[in-house]
């Protein structure tokens, strides 16, 4: 089913300004703990399982060691680990409501009877990594003990449990204090000697409080951070996140790079709120945004078409591109958006690109978008090999003058990959005489 040949639908002619040739990543001093060189991938309980502590009434869905063991098993047996999903992350509601006699954190004794060290061992035995949740304030968002006053002890306790990743939320704390509190906990993690990915909620709470986050400090201390609202199970929530990252991209994008990432929150693909098209849109735009890919879905019951989206290796390769340059919205008009991300390979001064065409219109019929590569900023005279990352459409090698036409479903996406070609005239047949007698 080629998308180029289809007729009908709304034609949206457009002209995109030519991008600057090479977008150099900003030269910044950032956290170098050797971790998260590409955006972390894994599974996180929050969006789908929330703070369900009712293990008597709902034993299969409550926050418990049983749930995390089950999801670890499925991440491996259902092929998610093979495509890169690695972390199994506990979110809020794993704790007892009070600390132990020596001030230590205690996992809920009924729901995690084997303790967190045993759970970490289980996850590690599967070849996966283990993440945990805490909060910088006096309490976690759901009211369990926070780390305020216990920062060094709690970091050491996580290290003793062989934790690989810590998400530190920001409820019940003062946003003004975060400028020293988040770095302090980061130093305490470092001092344990155990490499642990450090996920911060520092900027989002400061933005809520009307402050301007100091991103140059944030990237020095955190491997990833939340900039905006928690994702909820709806297209409206996803749209608001897409708009936030698009509307604030000039301030946000320069902070991303290997070891330090903006986090637009979990993938909600396979749950109740997104259609098939909308799910494809989230996956494509998260890859364009170099976002962490943390699934929050019931892997026991996910439908095969959503699993296929989450396991799309071509889109995951865009997300995990080693350059680590976050993409941007380059066009927005009448409900049509175009997002673009520079990726490898690079030839001379030209990047390759992932390009996502998003249809935010609600008029019920697919929209045609026609644009030349040059208008998208793809101007290498050697041309680009262009392919669709969801459909089996190979456009072959195209020159910058070529006009491509895609048909984008309502609330859906078409994502292309354009690999810059290394040789000029690469479509010309090989000519041995020419190469034997160069002048």
Catalytic residue list: 169, 230
| 190 near ligand NAG (CB under 6 A) | yes
Query: Which one, of 282, 400, 437, lies nearest residue 21 by Cα?
Result: 400
Total residues contacting ligand NAG by CB under 6 A comes to 16
Instruction: State the nearest-atom distance from the C-beta of 221 to ligand NAG, in Å.
Output: 8
Instruction: Give whole-number Cα distances, 360 to 231, 238, 284, 338, in Å.
Output: 18, 12, 14, 11
Which of 46, 150 has the CB closer to ligand NAG?
150
For residue 139, is the peptide bond before it cis, meaning its omega torsion is within 30 degrees of 0?
A: no
Nearer to ligand NAG, 4 or 194 (CB): 194
Q: Stretches 26-34, 105-113, 203-211, 348-356: which one binds ligand NAG (CB under 6 A)? A: 26-34
Q: Interface residues for ligand NAG in 196-235 (CB under 6 A)?
A: 214, 216-217
Q: Yes or no: say if 39 and 325 are a contact pair by the CB < 8 Å rule.
A: no
| Axis crossing angle, helix 235-247 with helix 276-288, rounded to the nearest 10 | 20
CB of 24 to ligand NAG, least distance (A): 21
Our finding on whether 160 is near ligand NAG (CB under 6 A) is no
Q: From residue 42, how far is each of 76, 245, 294, 308 by CA, in Å?
A: 11, 22, 5, 16
Computed over its alpha carbons, how large is the radius of gyration of the chain? Answer: 23
Rule CB under 6 A: is residue 276 a binding residue for ligand NAG? no
In whole angstroms, the minimum distance from the beta carbon of 34 to ligand NAG comes to: 5
What is the number of other CB atoms lying within 10 angstroms of the CB of residue 216?
A: 13
Please report how close the Cβ of residue 40 comes to ligand NAG at its closest, in angstroms. 15
- Closest separation in Å from C-beta 191 to ligand NAG: 8
Stretch touching ligand NAG by CB under 6 A, among 172-180, 363-371, 394-402, 405-413: 172-180
Q: Name the β-bridge partners of 372.
A: 403
Tell me which residues in 135-154 interact with ligand NAG (CB under 6 A). Answer: 137-138, 148
Is the separation of the CB atoms in 155 and 192 below 8 Å? yes
Q: Residues 38-57: x/- map of binding to ligand NAG (CB under 6 A)?
A: --------------------
Q: Given candidates 9, 25, 28, 33, which one binds ligand NAG under the rule CB under 6 A?
A: 33
Quick check: 87 and 41 in contact, CB under 8 A?
yes
The backbone torsions φ and ψ at residue 164, rounded to the nearest 5 degrees and listed phi first, read -110, -10
* Smallest separation (angstroms) from ligand NAG to the CB of 153: 16
Interacting residues of 36 by C-beta distance below 8 A, sequence separation 6+:
197, 223, 224, 258, 259, 260, 261
Quote the DSSP letter at residue 255. G
Using the minimum distance from each CB to ligand NAG, give the nearer residue, 8 or 34. 34
| Residue from 8, 57, 193, 438 binding ligand NAG (CB under 6 A) | 193
**Binding-site ranges for ligand NAG (CB under 6 A):** 32-34, 137-138, 148, 172-174, 190, 193-195, 214, 216-217
């Amino acid at each position: 089913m080629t998308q180029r040949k289809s007729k009908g639908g709304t034609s949206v002619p457009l002209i995109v300004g030519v991008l600057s040739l090479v977008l150099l990543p900003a030269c910044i001093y950032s956290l170098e703990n050797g971790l998260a060189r590409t955006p972390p991938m894994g599974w996180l309980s929050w969006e789908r399982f929330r703070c369900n502590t009712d293990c008597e009434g709902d034993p299969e869905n409550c926050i418990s060691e049983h749930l995390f063991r089950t999801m670890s098993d499925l991440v491996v047996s259902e092929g998610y680990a093979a495509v890169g999903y690695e972390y199994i992350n506990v979110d809020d509601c794993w704790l007892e409501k009070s600390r132990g006699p020596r001030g230590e954190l205690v996992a809920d004794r009924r729901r995690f009877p084997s303790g967190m060290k045993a759970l970490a061992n289980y996850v590690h035995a599967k070849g996966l990594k283990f993440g945990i949740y805490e909060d910088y304030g006096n309490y976690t968002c759901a009211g369990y003990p926070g780390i305020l006053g216990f920062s060094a002890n709690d970091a050491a306790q996580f290290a003793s449990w062989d934790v690989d990743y810590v998400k530190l939320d920001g409820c019940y704390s003062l946003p003004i204090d975060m400028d020293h509190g988040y770095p302090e906990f980061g130093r305490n993690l470092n001092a344990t000697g155990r490499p642990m990915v450090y996920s911060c909620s520092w900027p989002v709470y400061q933005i809520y409080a009307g402050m301007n986050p100091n991103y140059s400090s944030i990237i020095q201390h955190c491997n990833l951070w939340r900039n905006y609202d928690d994702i909820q199970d709806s297209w409206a929530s996803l749209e608001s996140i897409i708009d936030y990252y698009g509307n604030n991209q000039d301030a946000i994008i320069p902070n991303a790079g290997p070891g330090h990432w903006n986090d637009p929150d979990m993938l909600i693909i396979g749950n109740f709120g997104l259609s098939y098209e909308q799910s494809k849109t989230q996956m494509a735009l998260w890859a364009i945004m170099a976002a962490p890919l943390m699934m929050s879905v019931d892997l026991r019951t996910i439908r095969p078409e959503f699993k296929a989206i989450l396991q799309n290796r071509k889109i995951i390769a865009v997300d995990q591109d080693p350059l680590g340059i976050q993409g941007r919205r380059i066009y927005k008009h009448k409900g049509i958006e175009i997002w673009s991300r520079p990726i490898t390979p690079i030839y001379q001064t030209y990047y390759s690109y992932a390009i996502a065409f998003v249809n935010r219109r609600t008029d019920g019929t697919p929209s045609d978008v026609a644009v030349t590569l040059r208008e998208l900023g793809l101007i290498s005279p050697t041309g680009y090999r262009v392919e669709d990352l969801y459909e089996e459409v190979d456009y072959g090698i195209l020159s910058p003058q070529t006009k491509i036409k895609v048909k984008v479903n309502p609330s859906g996406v078409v994502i292309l990959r354009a690999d810059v070609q290394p040789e000029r005239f690469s479509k010309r047949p090989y000519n041995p005489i020419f190469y034997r007698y160069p002048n």
